[in-house]
Structure 1
Amino acid sequence: MFGYWDALYFVFVFIVGLILAYLLERWAKRSGMGTRETGPGAKMFISGEDPDRIIPGFEHLEGNYTGKNVMWGLTYALKGFFTALRNEHTGLLTDYVSYLVITTAFVMGVLLIWG
């Protein structure tokens, strides 16, 4: 069985997974207390972000979740790394292709030496 892949098994397992997910969702709706889907108080928030409020610096994303509050710890901890990446970001395709070629050459060199 291991090392052998059959598309029919994959489709079968995928369909069984969809059926189980559907049954679980139906069970959760039936056994839960229910949620208000319309009316006042039914608005969704993610970490205190209001999708209807304009967030300074994110005016172009009005009505969307930015994830700013969710990822603040990661962005604060890696501020130096992100600043270095932002400084290297030129938007020129030739720069990115050269990075790809250099990285590929490095990996191939390592594989040839220690491979």
Structure 2
Amino acid sequence: MVKLFGYWDALYFILVFTIGLILAYLLNEWAKRSGMGTREVGDGTKIFISGEDPDKVIPGFEHLVGHYTGRNTMWGLINGVRKFFSVLREDHTGLLTDYVSYLLITTAFILVVLLVRG
């Protein structure tokens, strides 16, 4: 009888890993065929990530010319959790005693839940 959890077979791992590699290769080939014909080598080749141009100087990020700041890549995440972080910023005092009390309250809450739920 084969257990579903706790059973590991190297042959199954190699089979799944090989299938994953084949699927990744096929996906890469499909992306190359369906792409817009981007040049892969030579003049005019430039990486484009979420609207960021590595050659453009971004105000405030002059020290990162030629690098990606992640400003456009992370916009959705930052915009999505803006309200959450504004609440956290109001509670941010910088006092170590406040953070220790938060840690103790959280630990006590988890222990109570574990004791009640068993």
Distance 1:80 1:32, change over 3 A: closer
Q: Percent identity?
A: 59
Match of residue 113, structure 1, among 106, 111, 116? 116
Separation in structure 2 between the aligned mates of residue 14 and residue 85 of structure 1, nearest angstrom: 42
Match of 2:8 in 1: 6
The aligned amino acid for 1:25 is: N
Equivalences for 1:51-90 in 2 at 5 Å? 51-85=54-88, 88=92
Give TM-score, length-normalised by structure 1.
Answer: 0.62
Distance 1:23 1:47, change over 3 A: closer
The aligned amino acid for 1:6 is: W
Distance 1:99 1:19, change over 3 A: farther
Match of 2:18 in 1: 15
Separation in structure 2 between the aligned mates of residue 27 and residue 76 of structure 1, nearest angstrom: 33
How many pairs were matched up? 111
Structure 2: gaps (5+ residues): none
Structure 1: gaps (5+ residues): none
Contact kept, 8 Å, 1:75 with 1:82, in 2: the verdict is no
Listed one character per residue, the Cα deviations across residues 24-71 of structure 1 (whole Å, up to 9, x for unaligned) are: 434554x4463212322x322223211122222334433222232244
After TM superposition, what 4+ stretches of structure 1 lie above 6 angstroms from structure 2? 94-98
